[in-house]
């Protein structure tokens, strides 16, 4: 069912032709919304849930932003298809496990997904590569307002938008930025950063893999609080934390290059060699090697045009994607072979690493 999504030639996260940026991968905003006259999904009956799904789906399908979009009924997706959508951050794990009457709308370039009957009746998500809280907010705000023209949303003047869990009450806004922070991890400054950022009401999470290490050195920073501040204030705070983290990351990188140049070049060189020659590689190792390749692009050891390839492989090397690409039912061990095949093929096309660039630095 999801074939057309994976084959799309315009997907924001995997096919973007825009110039990428060092450190920041993507910006993502989410709004939680509920209809006023039906219990929240967990307490709604099956017929109420399917009524919500029909009403919302009809309205959403009408909106111009959803032109050429696709709707998926979760009950009709296979486990593997759901996993692929989770790996693309288009749906949540909670939605996968939900009862009947849940679905998701995904627009053509996969910058927007609307989950129906997740924890709330509606979870609207917009994303963009790079850092752009303001422009993503404009899009999601407009979308939300156009929904409001036809749907009566649960809202109270005191508490704002009413949500199933009080942690989302008020604005219903979760703003997050995905960051690539190898400098802070390698220099072991990450926990200090996390502690400081926590004090400011910002959460830091690893991105890839359950319960795993901060695989790929990718982190997501997002606001914890949704009530008592306007959307603008929430995003301003996140933005300022974001800028501080970037400064620290860049400093950590320069310091590391200054003190451990040979070691860093060795790590990047070996990673490149492994990616070009490995025949068995698990997802964890792949993420960590790809992280070093993204760093290599930042350091101009690889051409800037290859940044989007690395970012795409971050997603395409996830277990679900590998299995989906391989066709039906392969064992986890076989996945590691397929992943290595893909990576060898991709990295054989890249030019050799330009070590001189780093030697000229500092």
Partner 1 sequence: MRFSFAVLAGADIIIYMAENLNCSYCNKPATVHLTQIVNNKIIKVDLCESCAQSKGVTDSEGYSLTDLLSKTNLGPEKGEPQITCPDCGLSTADFRRTGRLGCAACYQYFVPLLKPVLEDMHAGTIHKGKIPDVALSRQTSMAKLQSLESALLRAISEEAYEEAAKFRDEIQAYKEDAESEAVQS
Q: Which stretch binds partner 1 (CB under 8 A): 29-37, 76-84, 310-318, 351-359?
A: 29-37
For the bound state, the minimum distance from the C-beta of residue 190 to partner 1, rounded and expressed in Å, comes to 7
**Contact flag: residue 34 with partner 1 (CB under 8 A):** yes
**Cα 349 to Cα 356: distance, rounded to the nearest angstrom:** 20
Angle formed at CA 34 by CA 31 and CA 35, multiple of 5 degrees: 145
Only one of the segments 34-42, 69-77, 104-112, 245-253 lies at the binding site for partner 1 (rule: CB under 8 A); that segment is 34-42
At residue 277's C-alpha, the angle toward residues 254 and 355, to 5°, is 30
Residues 167-206, mask of contacts with partner 1 (x by CB under 8 A): x-xxx-x----------------xx--xx--xx-x-xxxx
9 binds partner 1 per the rule CB under 8 A: no
The one segment of 5-13, 59-67, 102-110, 153-161 that binds partner 1 by CB under 8 A: 153-161
- By the rule CB under 8 A, 239 interacts with partner 1: no
- Of 17 and 149, which CB lies nearer to partner 1 in the complex structure? 149
Alpha helices in the chain (DSSP H): 3-7, 12-15, 46-62, 79-87, 93-96, 133-148, 182-186, 190-199, 231-277, 283-298, 307-316, 319-326, 332-348, 355-360
Structure tokens at 30: 């989410």
Which stretch in 228-236, 259-267, 311-319, 326-334 sits in contact with partner 1 by CB under 8 A? 228-236
CA distances from 188 to 42, 60, 62, 240 (A): 42, 46, 50, 22
Nearer to partner 1, 10 or 230 (CB): 230
Query: Of these, 155, 239, 256, 312, which contacts partner 1 (CB under 8 A)?
Result: 155
- 25: number of Cβ within 10 Å: 23
Q: Which is nearer to partner 1, 168 or 267 (CB)?
A: 168
Handedness of CA 141, 175, 127, 33 (dihedral sign): negative
Stretch that binds partner 1, among 22-30, 104-112, 149-157, 267-275 (CB under 8 A): 149-157
Coil/strand/helix, residue 274? helix
Q: From CA 14, how far away is CA 76, in angstroms rounded? A: 25
Under rule CB under 8 A, residue 148 binds partner 1 = yes
Report how many helices (DSSP H) and strands (DSSP E) the chain contains, helices first.
Answer: 14, 10
Size of the site for partner 1 (CB under 8 A): 68
Q: How far apart are CA 170 and CA 208, in angstroms?
A: 29
Q: How far is the CB of 18 from partner 1 (least distance, A)?
A: 26
Supply the minimum distance, in Å, between the C-beta of residue 316 and partner 1: 20
Q: CA quadruple 274, 276, 280, 281: dihedral positive or negative?
A: positive
Which residues within the stretch 38-97 sit at the binding site for partner 1 (CB under 8 A)? 38-40, 42-43, 92-93
**Which residues of this protein are in contact with partner 1, per CB under 8 A?**
34, 36-40, 42-43, 92-93, 119, 141, 144-145, 148-149, 151-167, 169-171, 173, 190-191, 194-195, 198-199, 201, 203-215, 219, 224-231, 233-234
């Amino acid at each position: 069912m999801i074939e057309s999504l994976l084959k799309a030639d315009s997907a924001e996260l995997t096919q973007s032709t825009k110039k990428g940026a060092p450190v920041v991968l993507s910006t993502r905003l989410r709004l939680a919304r509920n209809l006023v006259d039906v219990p929240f999904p967990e307490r709604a009956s099956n017929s109420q849930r399917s009524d919500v799904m029909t009403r919302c789906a009809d309205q959403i399908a009408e909106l111009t932003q959803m032109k050429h979009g696709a709707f998926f009924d979760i009950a009709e997706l296979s486990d593997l298809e759901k996993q692929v959508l989770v790996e693309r951050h288009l749906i949540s794990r909670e939605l996968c496990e939900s009862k009947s009457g849940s679905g998701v709308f995904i627009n053509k370039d996969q910058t927007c997904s609307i989950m129906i009957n997740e924890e709330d009746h509606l979870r609207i998500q917009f994303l963009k590569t790079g850092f752009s809280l303001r422009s993503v907010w404009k899009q999601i705000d407009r979308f939300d307002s156009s929904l409001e023209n036809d749907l009566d949303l649960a809202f109270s003047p005191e508490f704002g938008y009413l949500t199933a869990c009080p942690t989302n009450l008020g604005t219903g806004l979760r703003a997050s930025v995905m960051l690539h922070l190898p400098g802070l991890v390698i220099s072991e400054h990450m926990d200090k950063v996390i502690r400081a950022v926590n004090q400011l009401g910002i959460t830091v999470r690893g991105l890839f893999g359950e319960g795993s290490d901060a695989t790929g050195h990718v982190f997501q920073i997002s606001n914890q609080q949704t009530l008592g501040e306007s959307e603008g204030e929430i995003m301003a705070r996140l933005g300022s934390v974001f800028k501080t983290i970037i400064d620290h990351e860049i400093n950590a990188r320069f310091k590391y290059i200054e003190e451990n140049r040979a070691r860093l070049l060795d790590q990047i060189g070996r990673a490149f060699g492994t990616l070009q020659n490995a025949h068995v590689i698990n997802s964890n190792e792949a993420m960590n090697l790809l992280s070093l390749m993204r760093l290599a692009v930042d350091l101009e050891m690889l051409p800037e045009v290859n940044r989007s390839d690395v970012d795409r492989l971050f997603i395409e090397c996830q277990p679900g994607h590998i299995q989906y690409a391989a066709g039906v039912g392969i064992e986890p061990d076989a996945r590691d072979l397929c992943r290595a095949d893909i990576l060898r093929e991709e990295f054989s096309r890249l030019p050799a690493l330009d070590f001189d660039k780093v030697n000229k630095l500092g």
